[in-house]
Amino acid sequence: MPGFVDTHDHLWQSIIRGCAADRDLYGWLEACVYPLGRVPFGAQDAYAAVRLATLGLIGTGVTTVLDWSHAFNPGFVEGNLRALRDSGLRFVFAYWVAPPGGCSEAARIQQDLVGEGLAAGFQVAAHPTLANLDQLKEAARCAGELHVPLNVHLGESPKDPQQKQVRALELSGAFDGSLLADHAIHLTDREVELLARHRVAVAHNPLSNMRLASGIMRLPEMHGAGLRIGLGLDGGTADGPDMFASMKAAVGLQRARLQSASAYPGIADVLRMATLGGAEALGLDKITGSLTPGKRADLIILDTKGANFAPRWDGPSQIVLNGQPANVEYVFVDGRALKAEGRLPEGQEKNAVQAVEAAAHRVRAALSASGVRPPAGGD
């Protein structure tokens, strides 16, 4: 079958898995993310975190990923991108445009670091809840200047500041170009219609949204409006890469919300969201997302002989409802095997775990030395 497409992730966040498990979005950000922007978190640490995350993606059958980088510093970005290139995955890199550097740094990264190998695209990233209108205008202008999509977190939490995020995007000129919206939970009917009118794509992140008590995307309504929707794993708050769990959650949340077993997405719908739908959301459907002559050989082979598939009744349903990363026997990206006979290449996972443990120790030590309370977790 086609490889999975992860339309929204923060791969560096493997280093803070399990952090602040009893917090909502803003509590988690305060405890686990913001402190890391105030201490040295350089190329070696970013490489270790992203490398571990990419191995997990390969393990669960992801062949294409969009990585939304918080870009704490230039060294962090360098390590982040080096790990992506070394992974063998097809990737899109979304760079958060913020001072210092702004758009000129984004242009440099686009030209010098991304334009090679399996790099499938570059996007300018922004966050309407953390930016004023001038900053949003700069991000939209930068995306237009570089001829790339703008990628924004939108309507993620019921505790978001009360400014109208969609209106701010409208005023900033964000709808003048291509736009990918992440989460898109707390939107009015009018806002959904506006996104559809401007052909906005959406990344749905059910595991993260459940973990952070963010809410449930109105997926059937958004699909009905004509929005293109893919599935994302969304970094540390998915607590481990598992596209099967994400598909199952996407189905189950809507059935529970609407108390209807026929609610969108059905089994075939969510399989499409996890493959071709994600490729469409990223603008990559001409090269990946389906097993079609002329596209790149991004595919996975599942072992359905295991106990979790027995007895076999309905293949597609059991992929979504019973599937596990352990069932992924082979992963091919551009025809190259990244996982074979159910295993990653010898030593890769062990080395990645050791490296990220060392990186986490360095980061926690830097936080303690600076007087910042480290994220919860043992050494």
Tokens standing for residue 196: 């559809």
Q: List, as own/partner pairs, every contact residues 287-293 make where C-beta atoms lie below 8 angstroms and the sequence separation is at least 24, other chains included.
A: 287/120, 288/2, 288/3, 288/5, 288/63, 288/64, 288/90, 288/120, 289/2, 289/5, 289/64, 290/2, 291/1, 291/2
pLDDT in tens, 292-325: 999 999 999 999 999 999 998 999 999 999 999 9
Q: What is the pLDDT of residue 130?
A: 81
Q: What is the pLDDT of residue 157?
A: 94
Whether cis (ω within 30° of 0) applies to the bond prior to 265 is: yes
Residue 373: CB atoms within 10 Å: 10
Q: What is the pLDDT of residue 300?
A: 99
- Asked, for residue 210, whether it belongs to a domain, the answer is yes
- Asked, for residue 340, whether it belongs to a domain, the answer is yes
- Asked, for residue 378, whether it belongs to a domain, the answer is no
The low-confidence residues of the chain, meaning pLDDT below 50, are 378-379
CA distance 72 to 142: 19
CA distance 365 to 374: 8
- Asked, for residue 376, whether it belongs to a domain, the answer is no
Q: What is the pLDDT of residue 372?
A: 64
Q: What is the pLDDT of residue 74?
A: 87
Q: What is the pLDDT of residue 52?
A: 97
- Judging by beta carbons within 10 Å of its beta carbon (0-12, 13-18, 19+), is residue 346 exposed, middle or buried? exposed
Predicted model pTM: 0.95
Q: Of 144, 126, 146, which is closest to residue 136 (Cα–Cα)? A: 126
CA distance 163 to 82: 37
- Asked, for residue 16, whether it belongs to a domain, the answer is yes
Q: What's 318's domain CATH number? A: 3.20.20.140
- Phi and psi (nearest 5°) for 228? -85, 125
The answer for residues whose C-beta is within 8 angstroms of residue 128's C-beta and 6 or more apart is: 136, 152, 153, 154, 163, 165, 168, 169
Compute and round to an integer the Cα radius of gyration of the chain: 20
The DSSP code for 374 is P
CA distance 282 to 7: 7
Q: What is the pLDDT of residue 366?
A: 78
- Asked, for residue 132, whether it belongs to a domain, the answer is yes
Domain of residue 319, residue span: 4-369
Q: What is the pLDDT of residue 253?
A: 98
- Phi and psi (nearest 5°) for 346? -50, 130
What percent of the chain has a predicted confidence (pLDDT) above 90? 76
pLDDT in tens, 42-74: 899 999 999 999 999 999 999 999 999 988 888
Q: Of 49, 23, 21, which is closest to residue 36 (Cα–Cα)? A: 49
Domain count, the chain: 1
- Asked, for residue 305, whether it belongs to a domain, the answer is yes
- Phi and psi (nearest 5°) for 60? -95, 5
Tokens standing for residue 152: 């924004």
Q: 328-333 and 336-339: which strand pairing?
A: antiparallel
CB 184 within 8 A of CB 198: no
- Asked, for residue 154, whether it belongs to a domain, the answer is yes
CA distance 111 to 120: 13
